[in-house]
Structures are given as structure tokens and as C-alpha cells.
Amino acid sequence: MKGTFSRAYGSPMRYIQGPGEIRNLALHAAQYGSFAYILIDGFIYDTIKAQLDVIFDGETVRFHASRFGGESSQDEVDKDVGEIASLGADLIIGIGGGKTIDTTKLVADCCGIPRIIMPSSASTDAPTAGLAGLYRPDGVQIRAIKTKRNSELVLLDTEIIVNAPARLFAAGMGDALATWFEARANWASLTPNYIGDGYRPTRAAMAIARECSEILFEDGRGALAAVKQHLITEEVENVVEANTLLSGLGFENTGCAAAHGIHAGLSEMDADHRDHGFHGEKVAFSILAMMVLENTPSEEMDRTIRFLIDIDLPVTLEQLNIEPTDENLDKIVDHTVNHNNLIHHEPLIINETLVKHAILAANAIGHRYLDGCV
């Protein structure tokens, strides 16, 4: 633990969530600037651009739409910074997935302008966090960067969320589910959070992380069923809040640990350009390996595995298109243990053998459940 008794808590300035909120975007933008540079995920660019043309028509705020290049890389950041300087924009709005959002944060930092974040799915907790991921062009994460400030506004339109692929919604639950597991690990190990240079978490942050978990277990199954039919229900709204707001506030204010550490190792496999799952899908399996590491009570492990299976999340390496060969495992474990510090936030001694065995044991347990042996 860093030598401080001080505790700290950070968050975006405002968070707004509900159906049809994109129609208020121009009104919100006018509070922060007069010329918005809007970075839009390529998958939804045409649809969103057409809506923006109507929404901003006749408003005092001008906008320029730019298609996101697909990777939160230094090249993408440099391109957007150059365009903003050329246009004279004084506000950036990011609309899309996690990497569009990460790029928006990094560009806002470089330009020193306000930012509005508008996720197109509830697939990660990136929208509310002050951290941004920087990646290589091949998709492998280089590092997480603490931005200079949190977002001025996080705006979620649940009409857009429920029309995104249901797989993304489920992946968001996988990412969010790790929040409480990792919060309590960091609390036990006295690991600093991500506010400034790191402080003790507040009790408020721990309560948020716990509530995030309970919402998922209570409403997650019904919410996913509704999203598969593109329906907005109270369960859906609750889970969107858990995936985005509670998980984001939870992890930033309490920290990440083994689940995201093992995820980082699994992400090393992405360099082969095969589909190894979304961020939250890799995190989901990594939660199981984390529970093995911590010798989690069997009742809690059983509850968690059954929940992950019910919401279509992977509990085996093979479901992530990763063969459990020694070559693959050694690559995953090396990155997890030696090139990423998150797993060392655990309140126990970590080494390569322990992590490798935990991953293999989690994989075997997952297969037992899928085969109906438990």
C-alpha cells in the first residue's frame, strides 16, 4: 500500500441515461462549446451521422463528424488532434464502442478541450472512467493512461443500447461482474485506486462495487432476454447503469486485480487476428481463474459460473478460441505475471506456476459445468 491514509473518489461531472437521449445532444453540447468534433464508430457512422444532421439543424452548435479508424492507437489520436486543430473545434464528442471512447479521451487531453462520451452499447465501463487504453495497430494493449480529468458528460441512449448486438450487452456484464471481486481483493491487499497517484478507496466506492454485482445477479438474465428482443425494461435500465456507471465508478475508485490481469494475458492471443472474444468475455473467464487463485467458497463460485453460462459468457478457454497448449499458456502467463501489474494486486503471493495452474483448473471447472457434471 502506498504510504497514505488519505482516501479519494473520482467521477464524471454528469451522467444521463434513458431512451431517446441522443435527441438532446445538441442542447448538452452547447454547454461546453460552439463547434463539436464528433468521432463516430465506423459500424454506426452512417446511421448516427444522419441523426446528427437533424439534431443539430438550426442549433447554435456546429459539428464536424469523423469516422473512427478502428483502433485506439497513437496514429488515430494524432489524426484526430490534427483535424481538430485545423477545424478550430472546441469540444469533442465520442459516439461508439470502447476504443472510440478511449480515443476520444486521449484526444481531449491532447487538445485541452471538454469531452462528451456517448457509448453505442453497454459493453464496457470505459465511458465513465478517467482511464483510456492505448493499443498497438494490431489490437494489443500497450498501456492504460490516466487522463487529466474525467468527462464533462456521459450520455447513454438506451434505445441505441438495446439495438446493439446482445453479445455486447452480455460482455458488458462480464466486465462489470469483475468490479466487486477486484474491489475486495484490492481492499484486502491495501492496493491504491486510480485517482491521482493512488489513494485508499472510499467506503462509498466499495458500496458501489457491491451494488454493481448484486444488480447483475438479480436482473442480468432478464435484461439480456429483453435486449435480445430489442426491448427497454426496468431490468435493462438497471443493468445498463451497472455495466456503465457503477462498474466504471467501482473499478476506478477501488482498482483492478487478477480478473483484468489475466484478461491482459489472454489479450496477447489477439495478435493472431482470430476472434478471442470481446473484452468482457475474456474478463468473464478470468473471473473464474481469479476465484481459483483466491480459493473462493464453492457456493459463490457455483453462483457465478451458473450466472455466466446463463448470460452466454465463456467459462472455458476453448469458448474463447484458445487452445490450452503449453505454448499458449506460457505466453498468456508471461504477460499476466511479468508484463502487467494487476495480478500482483491480489492479497497473496503470485508466481507463473500458480497462475498457469489456476487458469487450467478454471478451464476444467468450466468444462464440468458445460458438460452437466455439476
User: Active-site residues: which are they?
Assistant: 175, 260, 263, 279
Strand partners, 65: 38
Q: What is the DSSP letter of 202?
A: P
Vertex 369: Cα angle to 368 and 373 (nearest 5): 60
The alpha carbons of the chain give a radius of gyration, in whole angstroms, of: 20
**How big is the chain, counted in residues?**
374
- All 3 cell numbers of residue 335? 504477460
- Residue 173 CA to residue 99 CA, distance in Å, equals 18
Q: Are 325 and 318 in contact (CB under 8 A)?
A: no
The contacts of residue 295 (CB under 8 Å, 6+ apart) are none
- Residue 259 CA to residue 16 CA, distance in Å, equals 29
Q: What is the DSSP letter of 318?
A: G
Among the residues of the chain, which ranges form H helices?
Answer: 25-29, 45-55, 74-87, 98-111, 158-161, 166-189, 203-227, 234-241, 247-254, 258-267, 279-294, 298-310, 326-338, 352-370
- All 3 cell numbers of residue 135? 493499443
